A and B are shown apart, each in its own frame.
Chain A
Amino acid sequence: MNGNLYDDTSSSPHLDEYLTQFEDWFRDWGDKEWENRILSSGAARLNEFGYDPFGMSPAFIRKVIPLVRFLYRGYFRVTTHGLHELPTTRLMFVANHSGQIPLDGALIAAAVAIEGRPPRILRSMVERWVPSLPFVSLFMSRCGQVLGDPDNSRRLLENDEAILVFPEGVRGVSKLFRDRYKLQEFGTGFMRLAVETGTPIIPVGVIGAEETVPALYNFRRLARLLGAPAFPITPTFPWLLGLGLLPYPVKIHLWFGEPMHFSGDPDDEDEVIDQNVEKVRSKVAQLIERGLKERGPFPFSLLGGIRP
């Protein structure tokens, strides 16, 4: 076993450790030095009014940090594995997508920002239908999330930024509970981009997010009517209306792999690109498999920390 690769950077919180966890959590709330460090990392590209070319506002992010910290430490009790030194150049995180509400992106970004060495702002590439949503699109773009267009990704990578992509796309988020942890097909766009821009890929396996909004059925027709990618029926949604879509507080583990490097011709035949895509996909699958094994059996696994 590659011990180095799977070293826990933060130990999983056992019951007696919860108190200290909460202490940490509150201390971090006031960690101005960390905030300044991360928020100044992209300062060079800010305009006179404090926005970057993609509409990100560090002043806005500063305001949502408490909320993100609450979700990260308090609600989902995120534990990261294998998140070590990060390169300071361009970087692409590739993860499995799940949970109907794409909170996995926010949590991975929070992990990289809070526990990355050095902390980095991760720009996740969002679904195409998001920019047409009022408030949501505004919130996302101020937080640094960007429409998942190849042109946008290329621009960010050429600026040596770190991006997060979900090559499963909507196929991943909207899958049903019974298909949890079944990795869907990957698109090839991310690989072409990584090869073209010479960007290392860090595979990420997300464990737990798949149980946060367990969809029993996807009401496709209604989804199409609403213009949404899916309309999930869960044990609580739509019965409790919007409240029912509130994700369950399942403990989430994020497993980070080692950076993978690819080279070649970005415009190569699909078959050639597919081979590389498959390497990343199987790496993510390995991380998920290992994560599930480590997490232990249902249902204690969802609470986290308690092992039989």
Chain B
Amino acid sequence: MSCIVLTGISGTIGRLLARQLHLDHEVIGLDRRDLPDRPKDIRVYKLDIRRKRCENLFRRHKVDAVIHLNIMHDFRKPQAELHAFNVVGTQRLLEYAARHGVRKFVFLSTANVYGAKPDNPQYLTEEALLLAGEGFSEMRSLVSVDMLVTSFFWKVPEVETVILRPAHILGTAANGPSAYLSLPRIPTVLGFDPMVQVIHESELVRAVVSSVEPGRRGIYNLAGPPAAPLSAMVKYLGKRTLPLPHSLLRALAQRAWQMGVAQVPPPELDFLRFPCLVDDSRARRELGFEPKLSLPQTLDLLRQSPTYRQGMKQG
């Protein structure tokens, strides 16, 4: 039984993970949001991870592991705030971890940090450069955080650091990919139909739990079931695509973004044109992580989620 600090516990993945971990470990949550109806044995500190007071948590408890999920993905927030929260917050956490003898640091990054490029190799390994930031300033803080934890992995070998880079996460979380596929009609870029990888949040939880085990360290791509074209997924969900020329779609996205209607910035349209697929063989080999859900099962689970139904209703 070890003591695990879980940042971002109030998020969807955080809650799922806490429910799983508290059976075998002492779980301490750290989040500035509330966590209603939590299991009794989970303590939650309602704090911003940037606050100095967070360090008290590490002084008070003998923390064995930190699972860091508290990353802001909301691109609508101002750049400076995104950067401050994600990069500064992570930097602090890493300092505490190094200072207070934490043995394990698990960070949930994203495969999007590689960026969708026309000349990407079909499957990117963990060694690929993180190029998502070029021409896509909103992604920059996510790339910086990943790099920050990666350099920590090399510089502080005493801490077993695990960085997970999952493909598009689908499930109950109201994140970008789930919300996109929940639209009544799916806008796509005319003449493009990229291969896409999706992974269900439950699989992700399994991967995080397995990476907490002692001895596991490294950077791992998580791919989920085999990739399929976007259009095939849309078809399976029983929906239709709305293909628009890139120039038009981009102009619309630009306008919607400026007006504050759109949740995704225009450069993210590249993910609807070019591949950003990851090779997960290292996770399979070293973490023993085999996705259990097939692609149809993953999409079926998305269909059952409240976000999906709501998205349908909006249309």
Contact = CB atoms under 8 A, between A and B. Distances in A.
Given A53-B227, A138-B193, A48 B121 contact: no
A51 B119 contact: no
B119 A49 contact: no
Nearest to B279: A155
A282 to B, nearest CB: 31
Interface string B279-307: 00000000000000011100000000000
Q: Which of A129, A133, A134, A152 counts the most B-chain CB atoms under 10 A from its CB?
A: A134
Nearest to B125: A151
A138 B246 CA distance: 14
B191 interface: yes
A147 B121 contact: yes
B118 interface: yes
Given A47-B227, A49-B232, A131 B118 contact: yes
A134 B296 contact: no
B226 interface: yes
Interface string A27-58: 00000000000000000000111110111000
Interface string A123-136: 00000110111110
Contacts of A176: none
Given A54-B122, A147-B121, A48 B294 contact: yes
A288 interface: no
B115 to A, nearest CB: 14
A156 to B, nearest CB: 9
Nearest to A148: B119
B204 to A, nearest CB: 20
A134 B191 contact: yes
Instruction: Classify chain B: how many residues form its interface, as a range.
Output: 20 to 34
Contact of A47 (B122, B123, B193, B226): B226
A208 B236 CA distance: 45
B6 interface: no
B269 interface: no
Interface in B197-247: 225-229, 232-233, 236, 246
Contact of A151 (B123, B229, B233, B274): B123
Nearest to A130: B118
B142 to A, nearest CB: 24
Interface in A143-190: 146-147, 149, 151-152, 155
Contact of A155 (B123, B191, B275): B123
A137 interface: yes
Contact of B232 (A51, A53, A141): A51
B192 interface: yes
B189 interface: yes
Given A49-B236, A49-B295, A147-B119, A134 B195 contact: no
A146 B122 contact: yes
Interface in A92-106: none
B267 to A, nearest CB: 15
Nearest to A127: B119
Contacts of A137: 118, 191-192
A134 B119 CA distance: 14
Given A48-B294, A48-B295, A131 B119 contact: yes
A141 B226 CA distance: 16
Nearest to A52: B226
B186 interface: no
Contacts of B232: 49-51
A135 B243 CA distance: 12
A133 B273 CA distance: 10
B185 to A, nearest CB: 20
Contact of B295 (A47, A54, A135, A146): A47
B123 A134 contact: no
B296 A155 contact: no
A54 B228 CA distance: 9
Contact of B123 (A48, A50, A53): A53
Contacts of B192: 134, 137-138
B236 A47 contact: no
B173 interface: no
B190 interface: yes
A147 B226 CA distance: 19
B296 A48 contact: yes
A132 B119 CA distance: 8
Contacts of B275: 131
Interface in A42-84: 47-51, 53-55
Nearest to A135: B191
Given A47-B226, A51-B229, A128 B122 contact: no
A49 B122 contact: no
B191 A138 contact: yes
A128 B119 CA distance: 6
A148 to B, nearest CB: 9
A132 B120 CA distance: 11
Contacts of B120: 147
Nearest to A138: B193
Given A49-B236, A53-B195, 7 more contacts: A47-B228, A47-B295, A134-B192, A137-B118, A137-B191, A147-B119, A149-B121
23 contacts: A47-B225, A47-B228, A47-B295, A48-B228, A48-B294, A49-B228, A49-B229, A49-B295, A53-B195, A53-B226, A53-B227, A55-B122, A55-B195, A128-B118, A131-B274, A132-B118, A133-B191, A135-B191, A141-B195, A149-B119, A151-B121, A151-B122, A155-B122
Shortest Cβ-Cβ A-B pairs, 8 listed? A134-B191, A151-B121, A47-B226, A132-B118, A131-B118, A135-B191, A49-B232, A149-B121
